[in-house]
Amino acid sequence: MTTTTSPAAFDSTPQSSAQALRQNLLRNLRKLLRNPLSVAGLVVILLLLLLAAFAPLVATHNPLLQDLGNTLKAPSAANWFGTDEYGRDIFSRLVYGSRITLYIISLVTVIVGPVGLTIGVVSGYFGGWVDTVFMRITDIFVSFPGLVLALAFVAALGPGLDHAVIAIALTAWPPIARLARAETLSLRKADFIVAVQLQGASPLRILVRHVAPMCLSSVVVRLTMNMAGIILTAAGLGFLGLGAQPPIPEWGAMISAGRRYMLECWWLVAMPGAAIMMVSLAFNLFGDGMRDVLDPRSE
């Protein structure tokens, strides 16, 4: 009775759900790799990951070892990026610092992503007083500048890397929640959500299996873009002495320590500064590419 035409321009018909998923991923990956800027971002991020993973092999010196006879040396063959006021090798400190940067980024993202997504999706889907309560809480958090709020929290909790992570996470979730809420609002009345409601699905099932996956892509994009901000906030806290404590080689703290010698010894500030700039730029570029790939509106 029927003739079925196979749509052209698509890969061969997948034979299993695993294959269907793989085809989808490959298609997205191809789209991502077509954008040279996002590839550049991806390369820098991968480099950062490798650097962090193999820090002991890459570093030329012990990052914590002081050599007071060799302080404030300009970049040379022995110390590629020079030495700081205690004679510690700046290159090695940067290499180990990448671990701290990644630690902060990943921890904040792991906290912020699920929390923001959950709050946003729940408040967008149920609406009414649930929405009002969640959104007013979000408004309160948004009404302070992020760094100031983080400063207040760290001041209350006491300085330290973990406290900095908590403080940054507290300031980073509201934009995610708002994004997820907006996305959910646009989905709530969509036919495919109504259809699954009419099949008798519980709200939890609808949220987890039908609404959240649709919000996930824009949340992932936003998180990637946020990572740049997280790096800067962490560096800012480090610079103010409220983040990582000495002698931990955190990039912001390194800039802060080098500030006093900045005019004579530019490398103390320029090297960690360049590292922060490169990494946050890389996350921004990669985030842009991710948005082109994942944003449903750009398909």
Partner 1 sequence: MAMIEVDKLNLSFGEGDDANQVLHDVCIAVSEGEAFGLVGESGSGKTTVLRCLAGQYNHWSGRLAIDGENLGRKLEKARCRKVQMVFQDPYGSLHPRHTVETALTEPLAIHGIGDASRRIDAILTKVGLPTSFRYRYPHQLSGGQRQRVAIARALILEPRILLLDEPTSALDVSVQAEILNLLADLRQREGLTYLLVTHDLGVVAHLCDRVAVMQHGRIVDLIESANLVGCVPEHPYTRMLVEASRHYDRHMADSVAPEAA
Q: Is residue 143 at the binding interface for partner 1, with CB under 8 A as the rule?
A: no
Q: How far apart are CB 15 and partner 1 at their closest, in Å?
A: 7
Q: Is residue 214 at the binding interface for partner 1, with CB under 8 A as the rule?
A: yes
For residues 159-198, which are near partner 1 according to CB under 8 A?
190-192, 194-198
Of residues 165 and 187, the one with the C-beta less far from partner 1? 187
Of residues 207 and 276, the one with the C-beta less far from partner 1? 207
Q: Is residue 14 at the binding interface for partner 1, with CB under 8 A as the rule?
A: yes
Of residues 11 and 162, the one with the C-beta less far from partner 1? 11
Q: Is residue 17 at the binding interface for partner 1, with CB under 8 A as the rule?
A: yes
Q: How far apart are CB 19 and partner 1 at their closest, in Å?
A: 7
Q: How far apart are CB 278 and partner 1 at their closest, in Å?
A: 34
Q: Is residue 201 at the binding interface for partner 1, with CB under 8 A as the rule?
A: yes
Q: How far apart are CB 121 and partner 1 at their closest, in Å?
A: 15
Nearest to 160 by CA among 62, 253, 259, 256: 253
Binding site for partner 1 (CB under 8 A): 1-2, 4-5, 7, 10, 13-17, 19-20, 24, 190-192, 194-202, 205, 209-210, 213-214, 296, 299
